[in-house]
Amino acid sequence: MASSSLRSLVHDDSRYQRSFQLFLERSSEHQCMRDFINNVLPDILASIGDGKSHLNVIGVGSGAGEIDLEMLSKLHLKYPGATVDNEVVEPSKQQLHNYKVLVGQTPGLDYINFTWNCMTSSEFEQNWKEKKMTKKADFIHMIQMLYYVKDPGATISFFQSLLDKNGKLLIILVSGDSGWGKLMRTYRDDLCHTEVSQCVTTGDIKSFLESRGVRYQNYVLPSQMDITECFSEGDEKGELLLDFLTQVQDFSKTASAELKAGVLNLLRDPDCCVESDGKVIFNNNLEVIVINQLT
């Protein structure tokens, strides 16, 4: 059980957004996603259109929309004559605002109708069921968001149930074999809060899918993150990065000395990082899982 003195970072949206932004600056996460979107995603999208003139897309936990718009542009290249209904599900008002600003600044999006849902995925699911919606989706993506739900398996099952024939559900999470995976396995009981699944990795998701006999495709996305500042006592950016790595608000100030020392030692473990030219480079590998409509 996580120490009661440790508060989940998700409870402080302002600090979460600052630590997330720093994480993006210090990591190759978005670059490895872009490589995947450019080189692999077009083939995944090739089978979803099936001669349709209209496509339904749902983005779950879309953030500020940069990755969403890149995926939508690939969809448009595959199906240039199709219009798109894009349901955006994002609980952060700030991120949703940033997404809307980005859409306003991006030319050539006339083919997309955006529906903005400032809510969590579970609120979206509840809404959908209450309205008895029958609309089916051709493409659903859940990028780096299953950490913030109570039951990742149930969340996947719900969104999989919304897929149309030939539809695809795309999930991106940290790989179970990454440094982050090792951190979460080692300190799950100390860091992970019971109300959400902060310690989930693709290893857990693959086990869940296999237990249900659900077939999937998977792709590893090599990614790394410069965490050198985490080892400078009192460094403000280092503290923000530690918050993001542990998903604990003010980890450096609220964790016990023993827990803090253990986490810092593990972050430097050769299984988790490479040390080179005075920098500590953390293994932040991601993994993509692609699921089809349940048959």
CA angle 276, 281, 286 (to 5 degrees): 145
The answer to whether the annotation marks 61 as part of a ligand binding site is yes
The answer to whether the annotation marks 210 as part of a ligand binding site is no
The answer to whether the annotation marks 121 as part of a ligand binding site is yes
The answer to whether the annotation marks 98 as part of a ligand binding site is no
The answer to whether the annotation marks 156 as part of a ligand binding site is no
Residue (of 117, 203, 118, 121) closest to 156 by Cα position: 121
Annotated binding site for S-adenosyl-L-methionine: 61, 90, 95, 121, 143
Annotated binding site for substrate: 29, 284
Annotated binding site: 29, 61, 90, 95, 121, 143, 284
